[in-house]
Amino acid sequence: MKYEAPLEKYPVNIREAVLGKGEKAIKIGGENTFPFHFFEGSLPDPPGLALEVLDIQPENWSHWVLEPFQDVVSEPVKWAKRCVDVFGAEILCLRLLSTDPMGKDASPKQAAVIAKKVADAIDVPLIVWGTGTEEKDSRVLTEVARLCSGKNLLLGPVLKGNYEEIAQIALEHGHAIVAQASMDVNLTKELNIALCKFFPPEKIVLDTTSSALGYGLEYTFSIIENVKQIGLINRDNMMQMPILADFGGECWRSKEAKESKEQGILWEAITGITFLLAGANLLILRHPDTLKLIKEMISEKK
């Protein structure tokens, strides 16, 4: 039996989602094969790498992950610009933690003002993330969507309990959404079917909920792999949206990441590379060194 390279070709593509507007708009997804399988298919869009900023002062961040932003963490706009101008983030994620009902409980209007300031200050695509509290997020993201109309933000997390309101408003104001389901392939598909009844699938990015290295990484890895394959191999068009992995915060909260800068960076970077290998099309990171490291690894040519 002679050896023939066992190539596999799939006839469908993951949809391409466009984030942001203008020169610095970014496309993610679009592939018709597995991650890094350039030898048997096409992957037109490199994975998107985002850095995150909070709209409140970080609490309990270890020294190593605070250090790059120490002097700007009380000002979201400055912090955002630091990420983009100094650390080269091509996507930014703004966490509206001020709106947490168990915390500051800021109003949707207050939060939207911050979001608009940040959106106006940077030219890269902006992800705006709530707190995962369904009712509050619905009101907050609605205000954000209105005030930032036309900017093509990526709004999340959109959940089973609030997708109708948020998706509707996103549609009206030209934004994309992150559909989040918790670690379950069936729940992911159910939410997508419900959304696609009225919302364009190419403006959906999936979040299957990520867990850090040592804290459930393998669950996330297998779910992302599975979702990707259901889209590519089983050709299920309700599972052909690009996927994001959001884990920077969880990695840096772990006691392992706090032991040393090297271990912290690796905790985040190893988690990230694992999810890229599963099929994630966008990573939300916290430390700029992690971003730099992953970017260099994925950019290497043959």
Partner 1 sequence: MALKGAEIMKRLPKTNCKECGYATCFAFAMKLATGGAKLEDCPYLAPEVKAELEAAMAPPIKLVTIGVDENALVIGEEEVMFRHEKTFFHEPGIAILISDKESDSDIEKKIKDIKEFHFERIGKELKINLLALSFESGDKTKFETLVKKAYETTDFALILICNNIDVLFSAAALCADRKPLVYPITKENIDLAIPKLKELRTPAGVKGESIEEIVSLTSTLKEAGLEEIVLDPGSKNVREGIRDQTFIRRAALKKGFRPLGYPTITFPCFMYQDKFKEALAAAAFITKYAGIIVISPADKHFLFPLLVHRFNIYTDPRRPMTVEENVYEISEPNEYSPILISTNYALDFFIVSGAIEEANIPAYLCIKDTGGIGVMAAWTSGKFNGEAIADFFKKYGIENKVKHRKLIIPGVAKKLKDELEEELPDWEIIFGPIEGSDIPKFLSKEWKK
Q: Which residue, 72 or 215, has its beta carbon nearer to partner 1?
A: 215
Q: Minimum distance from CB of 193 to partner 1 (Å)? A: 22
Query: Which residues from 64-103 bind partner 1, rule CB under 8 A?
Result: 102-103
Place of tokens 């992302």: 224
Count of residues of this chain found to bind partner 1 when the rule CB under 8 A is applied: 49
For partner 1, the binding residue among 213, 238, 245, 284 (CB under 8 A) is: 213
The least CB distance from residue 113 to partner 1, in Å, is 25
Question: For residue 72, what are the contacts with CB-CB under 8 A and spacing of at least 6?
Answer: 78, 79, 82
Please report, for residues 162, 181, 191, 224, 278, the alpha-carbon distance to residue 9 in angstroms, rounded to integers and kept in the order given: 38, 29, 28, 20, 17
Task: Give the C-alpha separation, 202 to 211, whole Å.
Answer: 26
Query: Which one of 162, 192, 274, 281 is in contact with partner 1 (CB under 8 A)?
Result: 274
Please tell me whether residue 8 binds partner 1 under the rule CB under 8 A: yes
In this complex, which beta carbon is closest to partner 1, that of residue 93 or of residue 167? Answer: 93
Residue 94: CB minimum distance to partner 1, A: 20
Rounded (5°) CA angle 134-139-192: 50
**Which one, 211 or 281, has the nearer CB to partner 1?**
211
Interface ranges with partner 1 (CB under 8 A): 1, 3, 5-6, 8, 36-39, 60, 102-103, 211, 213-219, 221-222, 225-226, 229, 250, 253-256, 259-260, 262-263, 265-267, 269-270, 273-274, 277, 293-294, 296-297, 300-302
